[in-house]
Copies of this chain bind each other. A is one copy, B any other.
């Protein structure tokens, strides 16, 4: 089994919002953008750019985590659509976006990537962080 090496997270991902917890493979970032409930999974592996760069076992873990976070976001936010994407044209470090979208949101029906953001009020961010942390904690490590 590959060792957890817990690499440094790219500063541009850190700038997206707080790291609110860890699953088995990935750290979880809550994107500080009040327009959309938006999480980013960052696998704790060094020098990975593509999902296929991960070892097979880690690929499976990542998919399980995508499913877990998708179900969680569906349940909590009741979005009209989930958007799941691994792009990484700008930030090379492997990361996966999971975003709750609404037909009423500011970008609908376009993708949300690279658009301007407006941060949450601090109390709203704290509240959302706590809510998500409770759920992340139940994921089997």
Alpha-carbon gap, A114 to B110, bound state (A): 7
Say whether A135 faces chain B, with CB atoms less than 8 Å apart. Answer: no
Say whether A88 faces chain B, with CB atoms less than 8 Å apart. Answer: yes
Say whether A52 faces chain B, with CB atoms less than 8 Å apart. Answer: yes
Say whether A109 faces chain B, with CB atoms less than 8 Å apart. Answer: yes
Say whether A51 faces chain B, with CB atoms less than 8 Å apart. Answer: yes
Please indicate the chain B residues that have their CB under 8 angstroms from the CB of A60 in the complex: 63
Contact B81 A49 (CB under 8 A): yes
List 22 A-B pairs, Cβ < 8 Å. A50-B70, A51-B70, A51-B82, A51-B84, A52-B70, A52-B71, A63-B63, A81-B87, A81-B89, A81-B92, A83-B86, A83-B88, A84-B85, A85-B86, A89-B101, A89-B108, A89-B111, A90-B109, A110-B113, A110-B114, A111-B111, A111-B114
Contact B81 A83 (CB under 8 A): no
Report whether over half of chain A's contact residues are helix, strand or loop; otherwise say mixed.
Answer: mixed
Say whether A67 faces chain B, with CB atoms less than 8 Å apart. Answer: yes
Contact B85 A85 (CB under 8 A): yes
Q: Mark A101-137, 1 if CB is under 8 A from B, else 0.
A: 1000000111101100000000000000000000000
Please indicate the chain B residues that have their CB under 8 angstroms from the CB of A27 in the complex: none
Closest B residue, CB atoms, query A80: B89
Say whether A59 faces chain B, with CB atoms less than 8 Å apart. Answer: yes
Please indicate the chain B residues that have their CB under 8 angstroms from the CB of A83 in the complex: 85-89
